[in-house]
Structure 1
Amino acid sequence: MNVSKILVVDDEPEIIELITLYLQREGYATYSADNGTDALSLIDKVRPDLILLDVLLKQLNGLDVCLQIRELTDVPVLFVSAKSDDNDIIQGLSVGGDDYITKPFSPGQLVARVKAHLRRQSISMHQQETGRDVLAFDGLIIDLAARTVRVADQPVALSVKEFELLTLLAKQPNRAFQLASLYEAVWGVDSIGDTRTLMVHMSNLRKKIEPDPANPRWIITMRGVGYKFNAEEGTGTPNVYR
């Protein structure tokens, strides 16, 4: 049985020690760095399965580190930061973060988030079949096996969470999803009433696939409910090819 490897990047030794203690209790192999440069070096050597990343770091800040991580790997990156304003969260998720946990945090809740992301990553890898499952709409092609998306015949690069959100909605067109149920389905844990992470990912997804994000064609906001994928007349219904 392979042990999941987790890299903890924080400039506070006490935080690293606390997180490491709880993760090792759960049987994870842990590695740590207190600055961005060492973190990138460790990623290349260790190949972690998940990264816990502070924003305020020496040498390279966490946002710059995340941008470079995304050039190397698509493993889950969870920001753990004292910067808790909406703009801070938007920045973190926009550069490729999968989740954002604010300090002070509950160690138990952090471990639960780690488990959820690793579980989702494992499920996602097992679902990559040799067949070519494709959802085809008018102007939007989603290749489920290759995990690629094309809009107007042009490839669009999506993050892991953006792809999972899109496919979840597109597999059940015209169904209204509540925010909390979307979060739980994609992140694997209860949102505990905080859906900012989901909404930032949805905004980024719209910017990538919608011709006019201010007037979305595909992902429709259902006021007071959540979101749905629009497959009304004029957009086409999904054709699934294998």
Structure 2
Amino acid sequence: MSINILVIDDEKEIADLIEVYLKNENYNVFTFYTAKEALHCIETEKLDLAILDIMIPEVDGFTILRKIREKFNFPVIMLTAKEEEIDKINGLSLGADDYITKPFRPLELVARVKAQIRRFTKYNQDTKQNENIIDFSGLILDQSTRKVFLNERPLSLTPTEFSILWYLSSNRGKVVSSEELFQAVWGEKYFNSNNTVMVHIRHLREKMNDSAEKPKFIKTVWGVGYTIEK
């Protein structure tokens, strides 16, 4: 089965370079330099991942990300020419799964793409139903469909958010360090990425109407990590 990847960057040289490297990995790539054509592709093609440049004229990458998250849960990697932490936090808060700063090494981007696809595929695999469902305190997670319900209300989570909630729920009663959580979810070594984990936890709490001060589910153990109690 072919993997369909969307690439949007108004810098033609960068977009074409990304396309070449992804096609070398046998991915099917839809490359666009403007938002209008890309938005049409999002609505008409079955996509497995998107790579979005933030600084796109007329319609920026954040707006496109919002459009994607209205309907779709496939992974999104943001490209930014800025080092500013606020851009990264904004992207993660809106539902991005990863980000990479320009200039970047193409092989690093390919590695990030593979990691996201691997995780997305993993949580879509069909396994035994009883091993695929976690049900406690009004929270139901179905790993095979990636559906989540809280008190019978469906929650719309990104693949990364689902992965975090699934891992913490699978380890209820245990304190999971930020390092362990990052390695389990992102599949990479932990390189001072506490902000990345923190932003995703905050976004999860918002969607679950939970509170950091008086949490019902995800509790922060300061200086250690996070836990969901039994």
* TM-score (norm: length of structure 2): 0.89
The match for 1:156 is: 155
Q: Deviations over 1:143-193 (max 9, x none)?
A: 444433333443332222111111111111121222222112112223433
Distance 2:128 2:51 in 1: 29
Match of 2:218 in 1: 219
C-alpha deviation, 1:224, in angstroms: 2.3
Contact 1:132 1:146 in 2 (8 A): no
Count, aligned residues = 230
Specify the alignment match of 2:42 in structure 1: 43
- 1:140-219 equivalences under 5 Å are 140-219=139-218
CA deviation after TM superposition for structure 1 residue 115, in Å: 0.5
Residue 210 of structure 1 deviates from its aligned partner by: 4.5
| 136-145 or 18-27: bigger deviation | 136-145
1:77 and 1:99 in contact (8 A); partners too: yes
CA distance in 2, matches of 1:12, 1:106: 16
Contact kept? 1:53, 1:78, Cα under 8 Å = yes
**What is the alpha-carbon distance in structure 2 between the residues aligned to residue 128 and residue 60 of structure 1?**
40
Measure, in 2, the Cα distance between the counterparts of 1:159 and 1:132. Answer: 21
Partners of 1:187 and 1:55 lie apart in 2 by 22
Supply the distance in 2 between the matched residues of 1:107 and 1:142 (Cα, whole angstroms). 35
For structure 1, which runs of at least 5 residues remain unmatched after alignment? 232-242
Secondary structure of 1:100's match? strand
**1:109 Cα deviation (Å)?**
1.3
Q: In structure 1, what is the equivalent of residue 29 of structure 2?
A: 30
Matches of 1:113 and 1:120, distance apart in 2: 11
SS at match of 2:123: helix
Structure 1 residue 129 displacement after superposition = 5.1
Supply the distance in 2 between the matched residues of 1:139 and 1:48 (Cα, whole angstroms). 32
**Aligned with 2:134: secondary structure?**
strand
Structure 2 residue identity aligned to 1:14: E
Q: 2: distance between equivalents of 1:213 and 1:31?
A: 40
Q: Which moved more, 1:44-53 or 1:54-63?
A: 44-53
1:86 match: 85
In the superposition, the TM-score normalised over structure 1's length comes to 0.85
Structure 2 counterpart of 1:229, which letter? I
Which residue does 1:240 correspond to in 2? none
What amino acid is aligned across from residue 228 of structure 1 in structure 2? T
**What corresponds to 1:112 in structure 2?**
111
Structure 2 residue ranges without an equivalent (≥5): none
Relative contact order, CA 8 A, sep 6+: which one is greater? 1
Which amino acid counterpart does residue 196 of structure 1 have in structure 2?
A: N
Q: Distance in 2 between matches of 1:84 and 1:202?
A: 22
Measure how far apart 1:126 and its partner are: 0.7
